Amino acid sequence: MFDWDLLRNTSSVHIMTRLAEERGMPAAACLAGTGLSTEAVIDPNAEATARQELTVVRNLLARFGAEPGLGVEAGSRYHVSLYGPWGLAMLSSRTLRDAVDMALRYVELAFAFGQLSFEETDTEARLVFDDREVPEDARAFLTERVMAGIQMLSKELFSAGVPLHRIAFRHDAPADTTRHREVLGIEPEFGAPRNELAFAAAYLDMPLPQANEWARSTCEQMCRDLLARRHARTGIAGTVRDRLVRSPGHIPDQAAVAAELFMSPRTLSRRLNEEGTSFRALLDEVRQALSEELLDHTAMTTEQVASRLGYAEAASFIRAFRRWKGCPPQEYRTRNRRTQARVPQLV
């Protein structure tokens, strides 16, 4: 489940306001309804929620949404330096495969609205973007922005970029696809069953020119710390989250938690909604965090992890984990162990 209230830096909002200004729309008008100031947008320490950024995107589209390829134009401006430690960890990865693995594990630090996953066959690698949680009025723009942003990152990881076999979008084709061809390098397929970007699997194990294991491990730790801070919960949400963490395997339902807090389930729902979350979202968040800890630091089987997290069957846990991380639990564990084995130990 996409967290619309997760904080991220304001670099992406700044790109949206720049697009607006270039087309004659004042930055303040682009920020209307967000509570963000024009000064905050250029402050490297400022943060905004995905919900606030969505408002900026809607303001932009209200004026210029008919412009063909506006999403890919936006995506072409997302350079690795905008992403902070997430981008630097990719840049210093040993291979493209490692970069993809790192990117998906900490994708919440990027500016995607929706879920990214990775698939591989003997000959082809695919990045798939699930846009079903993205509001329909902004879906085409944000999907094109994500896919173009991925292509721009590939050009910075490899100086010449990774040639695409195929790029497909679920939405209908615009009147003019010139900008799509210029940015993406090929003519996209529109009206496809899903959004995907495909390239030759041989590129996955090619060494990256700026590989540096020490830099990568350092940046990855920064990513972990940054996500932990952004996921920190306060208020009623923090209390509920702490209660759920205390007893994995015997996770109480909403009625039980509400009773412990001396309120009705309806009141608890209202209080959580006021804080921008829900009981289900908090349960999902706790299960995801605990599953990663158990897979990283124990020898528990997938079935044992599923049981510890309160799932009635392992299949339900595997589906949830694939939604969270873009791969099944055992693949996640294998990748993590392979990565950790390559990190030099300090003595």
Percent of the chain with pLDDT over 90: 46
Rounded to whole angstroms, how far apart are CA atoms 132 and 122?
Answer: 28
Q: The domain containing residue 17 runs over which residues? A: 1-64
Beta strands 195-200 and 164-168: pairing type? Answer: antiparallel
Q: Tokens at residue 155, please? A: 């050009």
Are 216 and 78 part of one and the same domain?
yes
pLDDT at 178: 96
Are 135 and 223 part of one and the same domain?
yes
Domain count, the chain: 3
Q: Indicate whether 163 belongs to any domain.
A: yes
Last residue of a domain, one of 32, 64, 96: 64
Query: Are the C-beta atoms of 75 and 149 separated by less than 8 Å?
Result: yes
Last residue of a domain, one of 31, 64, 97: 64
pTM: 0.71
Are 170 and 246 part of one and the same domain?
no
Are 80 and 218 part of one and the same domain?
yes
Q: Indicate whether 347 belongs to any domain.
A: no
Are 102 and 49 part of one and the same domain?
no
Are 7 and 83 part of one and the same domain?
no
Are 30 and 156 part of one and the same domain?
no
Query: Are the C-beta atoms of 36 and 49 separated by less than 8 Å?
Result: no
pLDDT confidence band for 343 (50 / 70 / 90): very low
Residue 339: pLDDT over 60: no
Are 211 and 271 part of one and the same domain?
no
Q: Indicate whether 287 belongs to any domain.
A: yes
Are 8 and 32 part of one and the same domain?
yes
Are 19 and 101 part of one and the same domain?
no
Phi, psi dihedral angles at 257 (to 5 degrees)? -65, -40
Q: Which among 11, 16, 19 has a CA at the least distance from the CA of 87?
A: 11
pLDDT confidence band for 249 (50 / 70 / 90): low
Are 215 and 95 part of one and the same domain?
yes
CATH number at residue 278: 1.10.10.60
Last residue of a domain, one of 64, 79, 108: 64
